[in-house]
Every structure is written in C-alpha cells, then in structure tokens.
Amino acid sequence: MDLAYTAEHEALRKQVRAWLKQNLPKKERGAATMEDEAHKVAESKAWQRKLLEAGYVAMGWPRKYGGREADLMTQTVVNEELVTARAPSLIGMMGIQMVGATLITWGTEEQKERYLPKILTAEEIWCQGYSEPGSGSDLASLKTRAELVGDEFVINGQKVWTSYAHIADWMFCLVRTDPDAPKHKGISYVLIDMKTPGITVRPLVQINGDSGFNEVFFEDVRVPRKNLVGELNQGWLVANSTLSHERNMLGSTTRTQMMFDGVLRLARTRQRNGRVAAEDPVVQQRLADLLTRVEAMKLHSYRQLTDAIKGRSPGIAASVNKLVSTELNHEIAALGMELLGSYATLSKASAHVVDRAIWPWEFMFTMGMIIGGGTSQIQKNIIAERGLGMPK
C-alpha cells in the first residue's frame, strides 16, 4: 500500500479546494436540517447542479450516463475536500449512490435513459422504501404486497422510516410479489412515482427536532410493470447491491477525523476540575483512545480503497466500515457533550451556546446513523458469519 498521494492528485486537491473557496454556499448545514423546507430544497438542488457542472457529482459513473469514469483515488480526493470544506451534503445522494448506481448495474437501457439524467441534476429526488413496521433488520420479512394485474402492479401496504419521502418525486421500493415463495425469493424491486394516487406520506419528528423521515402508506397504488428493476422476484439480489452502496456511503474517515479535531479543540477551551479539560488525565485518556481508533479506521479504509483499486473483492469491508465509523462518530459526539456539561442542553438561540449547539445535534444524529442502513448488531452478525465463518 502506498500511503502518499501522487503529484497529480495533489494538484487536483488544490483545484477542488480553490473551486470550493469560490463556490461554497454561505450556510454550513445545507440539507441536513429541514426547517424552511421549500427554500432549503431549492437551495440544495441548486448546489447539486453547481457541483455537477463542475464535474464533481457521480464522478465514477460511465461517461455515457453523465459521469467522468474517474478512478477511485480521484473520487476520494474530491470527497475529502468536500467534507473538509463542510460542503452541504447532496440532496440527491440516495438517487446517486443508491438507485442510480443500482440502475447502472441492473436497469434496462430505457430505465437508465429515463432516470439517470434527472438523478444527476436533482430534478427528481428519490427515497428508499425498504423498512416496514416489523421488518427492519429482518428486511426480507417485508409484507407490502404487489399483485401483477395485466401490465400493472397493484401495491398495498406500509413503509416506515422513509428518509426524504416528504420531498421525494420517486421511491425505489421492495415489494412482495410472491407470498408463497421462501421469503428472500418472493421480493421485487420497483420504482414508484410518489405522485401516484393512493400514496399517503406522513412525516415523523425525530429526537433532534428534524423531520427527515416518514411513514408511507400504499392503497391500491398502480405501478406500470416496466418500473420493475431486474427480474420479477429477484429484488433481494438487486436490493443487496444497493445496500452495500449504502454501507460504503455511511463510512467517511474525513468526517470522523474532523469530528475528532472538533472535540480536541473543545477540550482545549473548556474547563474541568479547575484546569483546561485537555490537561485532565481522564479526558486525555479518552482522547487518546478515540484518536487511536480514528487512526485504525483510517488505515482500514485505505486498505479497503487499495483492495478496490486492485480489483480485489471487498468482502465484509463495507460492514466493518459502517460499524466502526458510526459508533466512533457517536462516541466522539458523546465526549463533546460531556465536555460541555450543562451547556450541552442549550439551544442554538441561547447567548451562551457553544459551537452553535452542534454537539447535541451530532450526538442525536450519529445515534440514528448507528441504526440506519443496518444496525451495529446486524453488521456484527455479517462480520461474524461471512467474514469470520462463525455459525449462525
């Protein structure tokens, strides 16, 4: 493994940094919170288009579908710079990283032509309709039923925790098309226009006050058969390729490093037991423990990157990445909360608030990330069974 960047990559880094300096929107948290919704959605879409025009969206996609066929190192450098600059997250991320990437592998030419361009421009926003009440970790037990009637699926059932459903134009959805087959074999992957009659979206309010996700109800929703991705009853295969994209997407070393740098700054400015917190041996021990794990995570992700560049199978690396990064982010945020003590309870509006109340927000947000995309326990099961060959 070569840990140095080439001169070419360093030049690219400079170029991206300069572009971001010129073009980064003023506000730090673009689409992360959903207050003042319509305005924020429009702003976030404009940001995605700007990035797209600069060539920094879906860089790895084939040129034919609007990408640049950029190699993994190029994508990594650009991604690192976006995170370092605290660029707003892309509103169309689910479209790009999940359904878009899946369509490139599984979609028909007609589906690719129809959906991919509007995913890139954020003209159409996507949501993921997988989880249901009682079918989260055990996703394959999902019950939302799709009956094929002529050339249409008629869909009835309910999804839950559907991020972005309240602003989404489309949903990529798992439905049960054969209730008599073994549970993994009777599922299909369909694309649903969210404006179809019979769909009701009910937003849920989260612990951090945002309402980013929803319940979605389907009552005799008619979806054309041509919206099926992959074969009928083969949705589990298609879905699993999307899930590994999701798990990769959730692990970002740069973000974890920045969170650690933030908590270190906090420790150097807050007081504890009559001295600067960073001089307190207990705090020092916590910081050292976290930093060691940040470094280990970084090396693991370099190894994953090297494997990907060399075309070696990633195995369970995406699960390790998801498990380690989400837990570590949450523990860093927890130290931030401890260092703040009772200041951690102040809202953004308070004159005494520290770091614009980012630590309590991070604490709650990172808790959700441990659950979303497959909980830590599920990742540990995957690592144990598929990675270490342990019995079920």
Ligand X SMILES: Cc1cc2nc3c(=O)[nH]c(=O)nc-3n(C[C@H](O)[C@H](O)[C@H](O)COP(=O)(O)OP(=O)(O)OC[C@H]3O[C@@H](n4cnc5c(N)ncnc54)[C@H](O)[C@@H]3O)c2cc1C
Q: Nearest approach, Cβ of 94 to ligand X (angstroms)?
A: 7
- Nearest alpha carbon to residue 366 among 336, 339, 341, 343: 336
Residues 55-84 touching ligand X, rule: CB under 6 A, are none
Residues 351-380 touching ligand X, rule: CB under 6 A, are 368, 371-372, 374-375, 377-378
Angle 57-305-108 from CA coordinates, rounded to 5°: 50
Of these, 131, 227, 252, 319, which contacts ligand X (CB under 6 A)? 131
Task: Give yes or no for residue 141 binding ligand X (CB under 6 A).
Answer: no
User: Which position's Cβ is nearest ligand X?
Assistant: 136
> Of 80, 81, 132, 246, which one is the catalytic site residue?
246
Residues 206-225 touching ligand X, rule: CB under 6 A, are 213
Q: Which is nearer to ligand X, 239 or 266 (CB)?
A: 239
Q: Which is nearer to ligand X, 61 or 130 (CB)?
A: 130
First to last CA, the chain: 34
Q: Nearest approach, Cβ of 238 to ligand X (angstroms)?
A: 14
Q: Is the dihedral of CA 69, 72, 76, 79 positive or negative?
A: positive
Residue pair 193/127 in contact by the 8 Å Cβ criterion: no
Kindly indicate which of the ranges 21-29, 72-80, 125-133, 235-243 contains the residues binding ligand X, using the contact rule CB under 6 A: 125-133
Task: Give yes or no for residue 157 binding ligand X (CB under 6 A).
Answer: no
Task: Give yes or no for residue 130 binding ligand X (CB under 6 A).
Answer: yes
Task: Give yes or no for residue 170 binding ligand X (CB under 6 A).
Answer: no
- Is 81 among the catalytic positions? no
Task: Give yes or no for residue 257 binding ligand X (CB under 6 A).
Answer: no
Residues 183-202 touching ligand X, rule: CB under 6 A, are none
Task: Give yes or no for residue 235 binding ligand X (CB under 6 A).
Answer: no
Q: Which is nearer to ligand X, 48 or 144 (CB)?
A: 144
Q: Nearest approach, Cβ of 138 to ligand X (angstroms)?
A: 6
User: Applying CB under 6 A, which residues contact ligand X?
Assistant: 127-131, 136-137, 161-163, 213, 368, 371-372, 374-375, 377-378, 381
**Residues identified as active-site:** 246
